[in-house]
Amino acid sequence: MRILIVEDEIKLAKALKKILEKEGFAADFVTDGEEAEKRILLFRKEYDLIILDLMLPKKSGFEICQNIRNEGVYIPVLVLTARGSIEDKIEVLDSGADDYMVKPFSFEELLARVRAILRRPDEALPEKLKLGNLTLSPSTRQVFYNSHEIHLTLKEYSLLEYMMRHPNQVLNREQILDHVWDFNFDSFSNVIDVHIKNLRKKIRYGKNNPSLETIRGVGYRLRE
Ligand code: CA
């Protein structure tokens, strides 16, 4: 496994390289944004993970992340950020990163996250359902946006699975009730609407994610 570290604090970059190598990874580092982007685009097949600082000379981590995703590079990205607000974290994930760590962080936690990202399911496995950047794995009942896991209740999960099996189709309430709810369900209650609303909020991420639309008077559609 080969990891690219993009970090302009040279002491930190060297320390990261050292601990990653101690764990058996191969690691290189670059210290400016332009060089990092060039290197990633040129050696996209060689790296299994990128550790990316946000504040960099010449080009920011945000720009790099967006640019490489636009160029079709799907190497997992773990962002290092000094800012830890909810808005900052959402912005990081929206830019196409898979995970983030707020500075200062412990090396133990960083290694744990690196291992977690690298063992995430391969999106090429056939039993997965995919729509936009959303992936659903029926065998483990897990849902991912890129490789960021979205936690759903059992009902929200069932609803999403049913809709991902029928993408871009308008599904009426009766169809949804039949497939997702049990017989004891009171069809006059607004429980579907409530679950749809919650699910819509949870799957609303960045670019290229499916949107859960309400078709007034008819039903719902999960559209790519
Ligand atoms: Ca920096």
Average pLDDT over residues 119-130: 62
H/E run at residue 162: helix 154-164
Rounded Cα–Cα distance for residues 4 and 162 (Å): 39
Distance from Cα 9 to the centre of ligand 1, integer Å:
6
Q: Residues 98, 103, 107, 110: what is their CA dihedral angle, to the nearest 10 degrees?
A: -10
Q: Which range is least confidently modeled, 48-52, 102-106, 156-160? A: 156-160
Q: How many helices (H) does the chain have, and how many strands (E)?
A: 8, 12
Per-residue confidence (pLDDT) for residue 208, from 0 to 100:
67
Per-residue confidence (pLDDT) for residue 123, from 0 to 100:
44
Average pLDDT over residues 102-129: 79
What Rg do the C-alpha atoms of the chain give, in angstroms?
20
| Better-scored residue on pLDDT, 101 or 141 | 101
Q: Work out the pLDDT band at 137, boundaries 50, 70, 90.
A: confident
Distance of CA 100 to the CA centre of its chain: 11
Rounded Cα–Cα distance for residues 51 and 77 (Å): 6
Is it the case that residue 59 has pLDDT exceeding 90? Answer: yes
Distance from Cα 21 to the centre of ligand 1, integer Å:
22
Task: Note if the pTM is more than 0.75.
Answer: no
Per-residue confidence (pLDDT) for residue 64, from 0 to 100:
96
pLDDT, tens digit (0-9, with 9 covering 90-100), for 66-110? 999 989 888 999 999 988 888 888 888 888 899 999 999 999 999
Per-residue confidence (pLDDT) for residue 204, from 0 to 100:
82
Distance from Cα 210 to the centre of ligand 1, integer Å:
33
Q: Work out the pLDDT band at 126, boundaries 50, 70, 90.
A: very low
Structural domains in the chain, CATH included, are: 2-118 (3.40.50.2300), 129-223 (1.10.10.10)
Is it the case that residue 183 has pLDDT exceeding 60? Answer: no
Distance from Cα 74 to the centre of ligand 1, integer Å:
23
Distance from Cα 11 to the centre of ligand 1, integer Å:
11
Rounded Cα–Cα distance for residues 136 and 156 (Å): 12
Is it the case that residue 57 has pLDDT exceeding 90? Answer: yes
Per-residue confidence (pLDDT) for residue 141, from 0 to 100:
81
Please spell the DSSP secondary structure of 39-104, one letter per residue.
HHHHTTTT-SEEEEESS-SSS-HHHHHHHHHHTT----EEEEES--SHHHHHHHHHTT-SEEEESS
Q: Which residues surround ligand 1, an ion (CB under 5 A)?
A: 8, 53, 55
Average pLDDT over residues 10-16: 96
Per-residue confidence (pLDDT) for residue 37, from 0 to 100:
98
Average pLDDT over residues 115-131: 69
Distance from Cα 13 to the centre of ligand 1, integer Å:
10
Average pLDDT in the chain: 87
Rounded Cα–Cα distance for residues 206 and 37 (Å): 21
16, 29 contact by CB (below 8 A): yes
Rounded Cα–Cα distance for residues 172 and 163 (Å): 11
